[in-house]
Amino acid sequence: MSLLSIDELKTLVEQPQGLCVSIYMPTCKAGPEIRQNPIRFKNLIRQAENYLEEQYQLGSTNAENLLQAAIDLDKEEFWQQQDQGLAIFIAENVLHYYRLPLQFEELVVVADQFHLKPLMPLLTGDGEFYILALSQKEVRLFAGTRHSVKEIEMEDVPQNMDEALQYDTPENTLQNRISTSKGGTNNPFQQAGEFHGQGSPDTDDNRRNILQFFLQLDSGVQKYLTNKRAPLVLMGVDYLLPIYKEANTYKHLLEDAITGSPKTLDSEELHTLAWPIVEPYFTQDQQTAINQYQELIGLGQASNDLTEVVSAAYYGRVAQLFVAVGQQQWGNFDPQANQLQIHVEPEPGDEDLLNSAAVQTLLNGGTVYAVEPEQVPDGASLAAVFRY
């Protein structure tokens, strides 16, 4: 799985009962280094067994039985299909694993819930964006993050101009859309469609056919972008881009685009070109959140106090959360009693409180920035802006 969703996160949060084992490891995709994958995996499984035996007093047989489904993954064909990182989640009768485009640090966590904080960069902080690769003969839609991109298979959407034009005439669709407001960030086509008199390039048959195609395409793409706020980047030859912007109704279309023929680029090359365009979009959001935190920290509307932030995250008060990756703070929180216990070393029944705050913030509709420790405001392990 290349991209995680909030629904996947909910499954990992809600499904397990009892002891939960979370294993993260970097993986090699190809070359001689691929031989390191099973070696590293066996070492981490052994570490998980030791935790189960020493901290939770499971006998060696019971520890091995709990981990058996994961142990059974260790086959040559499994290691031939890897990305940059592997995340494995094990509980009684539960196994989830994800090959992901993020190189994790080696980590084993045994607790009463899965440890999900290393996944956060794939869910929020690095943002979601889309690429629409345009040509008259083929259209492709991609979903991406900082680390990955994958193609979305579009159904009931015209894939080329010939397909679009066989269903309707340009005049019918143009008439239906002539008063439609145009969307897009900094879109130069802010007014309703304008069509000029005879002899104008805008009445050229080919251009009208392309516009007809793009009007249908925009209508189809909207089904995949409903309620989304992620930026959309166009890719295509120069003359197609302004025509699509004229047809576009998606409010988060970026003005900057990738120019050139999509046929010459694979998905990874498209991602390499698109990320520098969308990165400032996400950097600006993160900096805005930092500025807001600094403005509100003295007013009781923001905090870096662990007890206050963990409680607020469970009760849905956190709008934006900064949390340090690579750090853990052990303890447990009782939401019914609103009581938090903090321990220097993990004890049976403990959880990583930073992980809990991040998960609860996401589940309650907040934004999580999982960042390096030095990027958390005020040098804390976590920092939050509250909704109220």
Q: What is the pLDDT of residue 124?
A: 61
Among the candidates 240, 256, 282, a domain finishes at: 282
Q: Is the pLDDT of residue 275 over 80?
A: yes
Exposed / middle / buried, residue 323 (Cβ in 10 Å: 0-12, 13-18, 19+): buried
Instruction: Report yes or no on 134 lying in a domain.
Output: yes
* pLDDT-based confidence at residue 264 (cuts at 50, 70, 90): confident
The reply to whether 239 and 341 lie within a common domain is no
In whole angstroms, give the CA distance from residue 318 to residue 312. 6
Q: What is the CATH number of the domain that holds 249?
A: 3.30.420.60
| In a shared domain, residues 56 and 191 | no
Structure tokens at 66: 């709990």
Q: Are 185 and 236 part of one and the same domain? A: yes
Specify the higher pLDDT residue, 376 or 14. Answer: 376
Residue 149 has pLDDT above 60, yes or no: yes
Cα–Cα distance measured from residue 131 to residue 236, given in angstroms and rounded to the nearest whole number: 10
Q: Which of 284, 281, 190 is nearest to 232 (CA)?
A: 281
Weakest-pLDDT range from 187-191, 284-288, 362-366: 187-191
Residue 332 to residue 298: CA distance in whole angstroms? 27
pLDDT bin (cut points 50, 70, 90) of residue 199 is very low
Q: Do 179 and 142 reside in the same domain of the chain?
A: yes
Asked if the model's pLDDT at residue 232 lies above 50, the reply is yes
Q: Are residues 241 and 353 in the same domain?
A: no
The whole-number pLDDT of residue 252 equals 92
Lookup result for tokens 């570490």: 47
Q: Which CATH number is 354's domain given?
A: 3.30.1330.30
pLDDT of residue 42: 97
**For position 167, what pLDDT does the model report?**
52
| 224 and 363 co-located in one domain | no
Question: pLDDT digit string (tens) for 8-42?
Answer: 888 888 877 789 999 999 999 878 888 899 999 99
Residues 87-109, mean pLDDT to the nearest whole number: 91
Question: Is the per-residue pLDDT at 262 higher than 70?
Answer: yes
Other beta carbons within 10 angstroms of residue 371's beta carbon come to: 17
Give the SS3 label for residue 321. Answer: strand
Domain-terminating residue out of 250, 282, 314:
282
How far does the chain reach from its first CA to its final CA, in angstroms?
36
**Looking at the structure, do residues 306 and 216 belong to the same domain, yes or no?**
no
User: 206-209: which pairs have CB atoms within 8 A and are 24 or more residues apart?
Assistant: 207/243, 208/170, 208/174, 209/161, 209/165, 209/170
Domain that holds residue 108: 17-112
Q: pLDDT by residue (tens digit) across 306-329?
A: 999 999 999 999 999 999 988 999
In the block, residue with structure tokens 């189809």 = 220
110-130 per-residue burial string, b: 16 or more CB within 10 A, e: under 16: bbebbbbbbbbbbbbbbbbbb
Instruction: Please identify, among 51, 85, 112, the residue that sits at the C-terminal boundary of a domain.
Output: 112
Question: Where do we find the tokens 């007809």?
Answer: 212
Q: Are 330 and 346 in contact (CB under 8 A)?
A: yes
CA contacts within 13 A on the Cβ side of 2: 14
Confidence of residue 223 (pLDDT cuts 50, 70, 90): confident
Q: Which residue has the higher pLDDT, 349 or 109?
A: 109
Please tell me the predicted confidence (pLDDT) of residue 4: 64
Domain count, the chain: 3
Q: Rounded mean pLDDT of 290-302?
A: 95
**Do 180 and 223 sit in the same domain of this protein?**
yes
